[in-house]
Homo-oligomer: A and B are copies of this chain.
Amino acid sequence: MATQGERRAETRRRLLTAAAELFAERGVDGTSIDAIAERADRTSGAVYDHFGGKDGVLIALLDTWVEELGLVIGAELSTATTLAERLAVLWRNVSEPVVGGDRWISLELELWAHAARNPDAREHLVRRYRGAWKGIVELAGRSGDASPEVGPAVIGVLLGLELMRRVDPASVTDELAVAALVGVVAGTSRPDLDPQTTGATAR
Interface string of A157-168 (1 = CB under 8 A from B): 111111111111
Shortest beta-carbon distance, A167 to chain B, in Å? Answer: 5
Shortest beta-carbon distance, A65 to chain B, in Å? Answer: 16
- Of A1-9, A45-53, A55-63, A180-188, the one contacting chain B is A180-188
Number of copies of chain A assembled together: 2
Check B152–A168 contact: CB distance below 8 A: yes
**Residue tally, chain A, CB below 8 Å to B:** 73
Tell me if A75 is interfacial: C-beta within 8 Å of chain B: no
Complex formed: what's the CA distance from A187 to B113 in Å? 29
CB within 8 Å for A184 and B176 given contacts A82-B197, A117-B106, A171-B151: yes
The interface centre, meaning the residue of A27, A82, A126 with most chain B CB atoms within 10 A of its CB, is A27
CB within 8 Å for A156 and B181 given contacts A30-B29, A163-B112: no
Shortest beta-carbon distance, A158 to chain B, in Å? Answer: 7
The interface centre, meaning the residue of A114, A151, A176 with most chain B CB atoms within 10 A of its CB, is A176
**A113 interface neighbour in B27, B153, B179, B186, Cβ under 8 Å:** B27
Top 6 nearest A-B pairs (CB, nearest first) are A183-B183, A160-B160, A179-B187, A156-B164, A152-B171, A29-B29
- Residue positions of A touching B, CB distance < 8 A: 24-27, 29-30, 80, 82, 84-89, 91, 105-106, 109-110, 112-117, 122, 125-126, 149, 151-153, 155-168, 171-184, 186-188, 191, 193, 195, 197-203
